[in-house]
Copies of this chain bind each other. A is one copy, B any other.
C-alpha cells in the first residue's frame, strides 16, 4: 500500500525534489519523469520507476492506478502526497498529478548496436535541455535508434529534457562520449557521418545518404567546429532563404532527419 506523505521534510520527498539538480541525479543514478502520458510511455517500454509519487486525484485514473500497483509489486516505493508537494518536486505551479524517479541507463557508447536502426542523431555540445528533449522526440518519430551526445551537452535526464522528449527518453538509446572516442567507435563499423555546413556545396535534398546514417548536429551558438566538419563523410547545405544563416539546432536535426528518410523512400539510398 502506498504511504501517505504530507511533510516537506520527508526523506523520500526531499530525495525526489533533489533530482531536479544534476549532481543529485548523477549521485543517485535516478531522474524524474512527470505525468501520466510519459509514465505510460515508460511502462509500455518496459520501464518502471523506483519511486512513484502521486496525489489522490492522480491515482484515480485507471492507468495511473495500474502503474502505481505494478511499481509496488516490482518492489518500488509509492507515496501519496499533496499537489503542493508535487509542485515543489517538479518546480511547476501546475504540477502533474503523478511523477516517477527512474534509474538512468548506462550511456557507454559500446552499448549501442548501430545495426538496430538506419539513423542515429549525434549532437555536439548542445546546451539547451529543451533541444535535447525535442531531438529525442523527433528521433522517435523518424525511427532513429537514439541520440549520441558528444562533448559537454546539457543533461538528457534533466526535468526540462525529459518533459520535451514526451517520453522518447525511454524509447531512444542515449549515449555520451568525447569526440575522439566517438570517432574511434564510429570507424570500427559501418556508418556514414553526415554534417550540415554553410560551406558545403551539395544541397541536402540531392545527397545520397548511407545506412546507418549518423547525423551530426553542432552547438547552438558555434555550430560544428571545423575539425569536426572535416571528419564528416558527407557535408550538405540546407539553403537559407532569409536573412538568417542558421536554424535552431533541434529544427536542423528534424529537417535533416526527415530529408534522409524521404531520400530512402524515393530510392535515392547510398
User: Which A residues fall within an 8 A CB radius of B?
Assistant: 41, 44-45, 130, 134, 137-143, 164, 166-168, 171, 205, 238, 240-244, 246-248, 250-251, 254-255, 258-259, 261-262, 265
**Given the complex, which residues of B lie within 8 Å of A241, measured CB to CB?**
140-143, 261
Q: In the complex the two chains form, is A262's CB within 8 Å of B205's CB? A: yes
Closest 6 CB pairs of A and B: A143-B241, A140-B242, A251-B254, A140-B244, A255-B258, A134-B248
**Given the complex, which residues of B lie within 8 Å of A250, measured CB to CB?**
134, 248, 250-251
Q: In the complex the two chains form, is B138's CB within 8 Å of A247's CB? A: yes
**Which of B41, B134, B247, B254 has a CB less than 8 Å from the CB of A141?**
B247
CA distance A41 to B246 in the complex (A): 13
Q: In the complex the two chains form, is B45's CB within 8 Å of A243's CB? A: yes
Interchain nearest-CB distance for A64 vs B (Å): 18
Copy number in this complex? Answer: 2
Interchain nearest-CB distance for A270 vs B (Å): 19
| A251-B134 contact in complex given A243-B167, A243-B171, C-beta closer than 8 Å | yes
CA distance A65 to B34 in the complex (A): 47
**Given the complex, which residues of B lie within 8 Å of A259, measured CB to CB?**
258, 262
**Given the complex, which residues of B lie within 8 Å of A168, measured CB to CB?**
242-244
**Given the complex, which residues of B lie within 8 Å of A139, measured CB to CB?**
242
Q: In the complex the two chains form, is A41's CB within 8 Å of B140's CB? A: no
